[in-house]
Structure 1
């Protein structure tokens, strides 16, 4: 007898069975295969459905380019500044709206070209066989696809499926949108190449470019977008200032079309170079414009003076008049030139003061040296204020907020104050020089007044003409200098690496990364499911689960039944499953011997709930006893759900119930089976009071009579966890076998079994682990590996191997069996 102290259990143990979890995880290999297939399929679909994203870059250098024609002797000064602020300003300009408006307009990026692929619309800019020339003054269909198809070498077809009787159009000259009526909901018409299309909703001319034979009947989708939205999209390019070289800018853009990105980057830099060079020449342009205006007026004065001298010469002898007046003429010419130079300087200073006080845009100031001003402070500060004014106008289109404006305005105001101080000081100096020249001229004029009147008139006319001619030649020289300097100017922006498609540049989608993620997701998701199942499962999975819940002895392990009938031992006596029941028979004989039980032996089989296989085990245990030529009888006492009669092909019309109620004798209820030495008593008709029948004296009488006739009596009883019938029958039994089924019996039922055993309700209890799969979801070889015999090699010749079900399992079985036979 077992001591009650032996029945300890560990329901509250929470130790993680890593080995069990690992083996169980590997047993779900099909889940992982399916998970990987699904994950890789999704990754593949993502990769083929997403357009490839590329990155294109160009590199430019920003540096101060000195004019090779600007020397210390050049009287026109307008080179100033450095690269300190230019790099940041250029970086800002590249993202400005004003700059990108020029680029978008030049490239006509507001026109989209698409081709429909299997999964998406592909941008085919730069790959279409035609070029569109728009009439910006007229309407173009807005935001809707226009299908263009080449039908011959000199014609194409336009198809537009309108949704309503109206269409929205845009006019790119002023970006104004409007609505026009449509006659038909689908427009389809053929036009000639180069023909001007004039429709209420479309005005263009289409010309051939890069046309190939395979372009015939190829449908290109053309769409006109918002100019402002297109410009906004282009303003997001990436501009990076090189950390190691502050004058180097890397300009990058991302997209799906390399041709579009290359054109955009190269055009945006070329537009920037032109704008920067135009701004750099602003000073020279202002100077040349001022000189041209002065030369125009001087030409008139020079012509008038010349005409007056001609008229005077017609009535007078110039040769005689010139005698005696040459010295006065040369002196007056020299002093007049000095006076004109000083007056031009004073006039420029007056104009400068007025400009500084009354204007806010100083970008149109002419060079001070055009008036002969060589004062370095004025020349330098005028150059600075023009540069700051130009910079401020650039920021107006690209910078939000007032911080940058305030900084530039403060600098401009500071330079303006300095210029006004410089102008006042320099004006006083020039006024002193002018007074001195005027005194010298007055002295000579007083001497001339004593000459004859005709000589005075000639000196007056020649003096006026020579002065105009001298001024005119001076301005011509300065204009030539300004033109030379302007023509020799170089942009401060230079290409280092123009944008070019050299292959590569792929940014996404990262197909390899997607496949790596798919691999991990295909593993992790099934793993998480297995992990979840492992921890929420409350059923007995393996022998460790039994040993951790109870210390009742495990008398045997029975594998899974693969036959249709429950008579597995009788049908295949040499199978591994039959060997497991023979092992149970040997263990039972040991228990009987240990407990000194002689003569007829009684064995009761029960379980926690229905479906755990107690009837199946009862039949096969009885069969192994019968095959050993021991008179054995199975007594079906599951009066509520009788089962055993089906397997023996007998009727359940009379049985144990008929004997217990005194209706039939014992001989009448005992039935022979097809198995020698094995008889059976079925339960009979279902009674209204099964528990009372079992408790009656008739049951004791039945067991007593059967012990006289049979060596082994097998009681097939109802589940002990549902009804109390088995507890009442335990008094007649020598040994009780409790059936636990793998992946079916709940662990808490073992706790119930422990409690019943402690209270003495069940005696001599041993456990049979039924339905054990040696290669199932519980792990190959997990536990004792007892249920299917001794393995492929050792078991060969001792019992019949059962070929497993399933494609992979069958092939593995055949390979191992062939290998085992080869070794033998």
Structure 2
């Protein structure tokens, strides 16, 4: 039972009894015990159902590797912007959606391989004896468990429980969803290992791994998950810089399957190395593509001019024809080659200018070396532009900040502006060189016109052939240079410690945290309810509540009646409950003496409402007076709702009402009881006008007649909070006892009592606290009296101490 006194910390006291408060809180130990048992049971069940969480990591370094075959002539250089920029870029790439899409797609981590554990499904990737080779271009059953049972080593059985008429399919090649109709039954069918399955909802080949072990009769589960959802989970990879060096990165992940973590960490680094190396080879790759397309055209022209030269030499003395024009031909070839070089540079600049003005993706620009351009400003700016364009395209999948993109765009615009100025300056110089070459070539052509006609024709054909052959040879040389550079490029990313399962790595679940949480909740939840009850409970709980609300003295405290009999004093005269009523008797005698009441004494017992123990107290107070050899009578004056007859096993046929209406005499309405010296007068039949009868002169005559016959007259009256009968009877009483019941009487009723006393409606009023229980403070069943010091004096039934008995048994063993 809640005792508001337990929360005395909230009251305004001059001193605080912490020990008392602690003992009072401990009185509700059953609440806390039950709460703690429930909380720890839940924590235990949660802990045993949680899968173990492991942490794996890999260590990589970033070191800018220079190409040992790079020379100033190749001009095939690619720079990511230094180590610092590479670290930031790598961190972004590793957590980007596009990068993780590539890794997840390569490893097919959207497929779950599961086994049934004791409490739930367990991710058994790397432990199952098989894998499924799916057809990505066709739909697979999405987000549904597919049970696989191996009937034999080469035959397996598929179980799919369909619950509706349609199922969702996922197409991994297009990353799209669709639906297909099925029958709402369990699909069961057998297939051979390696057999192609082509169903509307499933398309795969199941293959057995190397060294699968024993798997006949075992059951496994396969599930196809959402591709984007799977990628989102793996984007949570943690990338941290090592304190010892800014160019060293630690990649770590946590999960329930170590094999998955190890393979993913190593694969994501390998994918990063490939991406970085491809970007580093971008110049070489673009150059090779450009040269390959040019060589195709040049090869056709070279073949055509070769055929012309062959046709011309047929049936002619070629040595006589060549003899006179060899010097002129060599001179013209030199001028043609020089002119081709200048023209090629101008053409490259024109194409580059048009590309810069009309495109926004500069990652496919060919190297300037394909046109023989070695201007360091142009080479460096093109390299920087390609690097910025590549970085921007990579960050587009991971970064959503417009400011970062604007910064990249501003940098590329600045580089592009400088590059356009470089192009304009270089072109003006080349146009001047071209005019000089054309002048020299014109002089050589004039000299050639003086030669014989056949020599001129041969010179013309050979000149074209030699030029094409020279250009073809030059492009082949440039292509070889690009291939060498591409083959010899090294990635800037290197493994220091690849991820590896060497045992351990367990990081969770943290079961101790759950048990600590259970401890806190197990204590706080009942405490919260106790506080809640305190704030919403408006009933009297202890003597402090009464003394704070009223100046009326408390004459006694009655404990809880656990015997089940209302004649508690008579049935258990040595009980603590009996002693409580004897204490009230002593206090009443003091009050009578103080008021100088002699002869017969009257006592009116009332309360606020019905159910507060008014009749119970009347009977037992009367009993203690009777047992002290005083002639005592209880008068049942609750004419509206009489209960006194039931307590003495009497019939309420005649009583006070019969006397007041002059129907019976006092002797006729008086009933003797089994308690010596105690008589009882019942209320009698319920009258239509109880208030009028109480106000009649017959009531005074009844009291006067009782005073002549009895030492103590106990008036059991109706509650004053409901009717006014008790107020009318107050004039006949020497002392009034107002019964207040713990955890039942409302505090507002005490305020009403104060008003009654202040108006003089109740005489010599005192309060009795009934049904009081405070186990924490006193250690007894109702807590007002002697506690453990009552042994041998109070006749209380001792309850066996189960804990003590258990300890005794252990000692005996």
Band the TM-score falls in, shorter-chain normalisation = 0.7 to 0.9
Instruction: Output one character per residue of 1:726-748: Cα deviation in whole Å (capped at 9) or x when no partner.
Output: 33333332222222222222222
Alignment RMSD (CA, Å): 4.7
Deviation at 1:417, TM superposition (A): 0.7
Contact 2:585–2:625 (Cα < 8 Å) also in 1:
yes
In structure 2, relative to structure 1, the CA distance for the partners of 1:97 and 1:580 (3 Å cut) is closer
The CA deviation at 1:558 is: 1.6
Q: Which moved more, 1:396-405 or 1:795-804?
A: 396-405
Distance 1:182 1:689 in 2: 83
1:352 equivalent to 2:348? Answer yes
Q: Decide whether the 8 Å contact of 2:349 with 2:427 is kept in 1.
A: no
TM-score if structure 1 supplies the norm length? 0.80
Q: Distance in 2 between matches of 1:272 and 1:252?
A: 15
The question of 1:482 aligning with 2:482 is answered yes
**SS in structure 1 opposite 2:777?**
coil
Task: Return 243-252 or 511-520, whichever deviates more.
Answer: 243-252
Partner of 1:797: 792
Deviation at 1:599, TM superposition (A): 2.4
- What is the distance in 1 between the residues matched to 2:468 and 2:695? 149
In 2, Cα distance between equivalents of 1:317 and 1:706:
169
- Deviation sequence 1:204-227 (CA, Å, 0-9, x none): 221112665664444333344555
Greater CA drift, 426-435 or 569-578: 426-435
Of stretches 396-405 and 510-519 in structure 1, the one that deviates more from structure 2 is 396-405
Deviates more, 1:529-538 or 1:388-397: 388-397
Aligned partner of residue 220 in structure 1, secondary structure: strand
Q: Which moved more, 1:244-253 or 1:693-702?
A: 244-253
Gap change, CA 1:731 and 1:65, over 3 Å in 2:
same
The 1:174/1:526 distance shift into structure 2, 3 A limit, reads closer
- Selected match of 1:420 from 423, 442, 447: 423
Q: List runs of 5+ in structure 1 lacking aligned partners.
A: 1-13, 816-824
Change in CA separation of 1:315 and 1:727 when aligned onto 2, cut-off 3 Å: closer
**What CA deviation, in whole Å up to 9, does each residue of 1:419-464 have, x standing for no partner?**
4224314414643774697599789989x979xx99x999999999
Secondary structure of the residue that 1:574 maps to in structure 2?
coil
Residues 344 and 371 in structure 1, CA contact (< 8 A), matched pair in contact too: no
User: How is 1:454-469 mapped onto 2 (pairs within 5 angstroms)?
Assistant: none
How far apart, CA to CA, are the structure 1 residues paired with 2:660 and 2:166?
A: 96
Q: Comparing 223-232 with 306-315, which one deviates more in the overlay?
A: 306-315
Q: Secondary structure at the match of 1:152?
A: coil
Please say which of residues 58-67 and 125-134 is displaced more in the overlay. 58-67
Report the alpha carbon displacement of residue 349 of structure 1 after superposing the two structures with TM. Answer: 0.5
TM, length-normalised to structure 2: 0.81
How far the C-alpha of 1:66 sits from its partner, in A, is 1.0
Deviates further, 588-597 or 693-702: 693-702
Q: Matched residues in 1 for 2:645 and 2:180: separation?
A: 90
| CA shift for structure 1 position 654 | 3.0
1:478-514: per-residue Cα shift (whole Å, max 9, x none)?
A: 5544333222201123345544556777788765444
Confirm or deny that 1:625 pairs with 2:629: no
Give the direction of change, closer, same or farther, for the CA distance of 1:379–1:729 in structure 2 (3 Å limit). closer
Match of 1:342 in 2: 338
The alpha-carbon deviation at position 259 of structure 1 amounts to 3.7
Give the 5 Å matches for 1:178-217: 186-209=186-209, 215-217=215-217
Asked if the contact 1:605/1:737 (under 8 Å) is kept, the reply is: yes
Distance, in Å, in 2 between the alignment partners of 1:772 and 1:510 is: 47
**CA 1:715–1:461: 2 relative to 1, 3 Å:** closer
Question: Secondary structure in 1 aligned to 2:268?
Answer: helix
CA distance in 1, matches of 2:24, 2:329: 119
Give the counterpart of 2:777 among 773, 780, 787: 780
CA distance in 2 between counterparts of 1:135 and 1:240 reads 38
After the TM superposition, which residues 66-85 of structure 1 pair with which residues of structure 2 at under 5 Å, given as runs?
66-71=66-71, 75-80=74-79, 82-83=81-82, 85=85
- Residue 158 of structure 2 is aligned to residue 153 of structure 1: no
Q: Secondary structure at the match of 1:780?
A: helix
Per-residue displacement from partner, 1:524-569 (whole Å, max 9, x unpaired)?
A: 3433332232233222211112212222222222211122221111
Range with bigger deviation, 260-269 or 462-471: 462-471
Q: Distance in 1 between matches of 2:183 and 2:651?
A: 88
State the partner residue of 1:557. 557
Question: 2-side partners of 1:763 and 1:278: how far apart?
Answer: 106
Q: Please say which of residues 85-94 and 175-184 is displaced more in the overlay.
A: 175-184
| 1:608/1:346 CA distance change after superposition, 3 Å | same
In structure 2, the partner of 1:546 is 546
> Post-superposition shift, 1:180?
5.8
User: In structure 2, the residue corresponding to 1:801 is in which secondary structure?
Assistant: coil
The residue correspondences of 1:169-180 to structure 2 (distance < 5 A) are: 169=169, 172-174=172-174
Query: CA contact under 8 A between 2:153 and 2:215: conserved in structure 1?
Result: no
Conserved 8 A contact 1:558-1:787: no
Instruction: String of CA shifts for 1:565-589, please: whole Å, max 9, x gaps.
Output: 2111111111111111222222222
Aligned equivalents of 1:525 and 1:298: distance in 2?
A: 88
Aligned pair in 2 of structure 1 residues 768, 76: CA closer, same or farther (>3 Å)?
Answer: closer
Q: What is the alpha-carbon distance in structure 1 between the residues aligned to residue 685 and residue 30 of structure 2?
A: 47
- Structure 1 pair 588–302 and aligned structure 2 pair: CA distance change class (3 A): closer
The answer for the alignment partner of 2:572 in structure 1 is: 572
* Contact 2:312-2:458 within 8 A present in 1 as well: no
Contact 1:349 1:423 in 2 (8 A): no
CA distance in 2, matches of 1:787, 1:183: 72
What aligned pairs does 1:315-334 form with structure 2 within 5 A after superposition? Answer: none
Change (3 A) 1:813 1:754: farther
8 Å CA contact 2:378, 2:419 repeated in 1: no
Secondary structure of 2:276's aligned partner: helix
How far apart, in 1, do the equivalents of 2:602 and 2:804 lie? 40
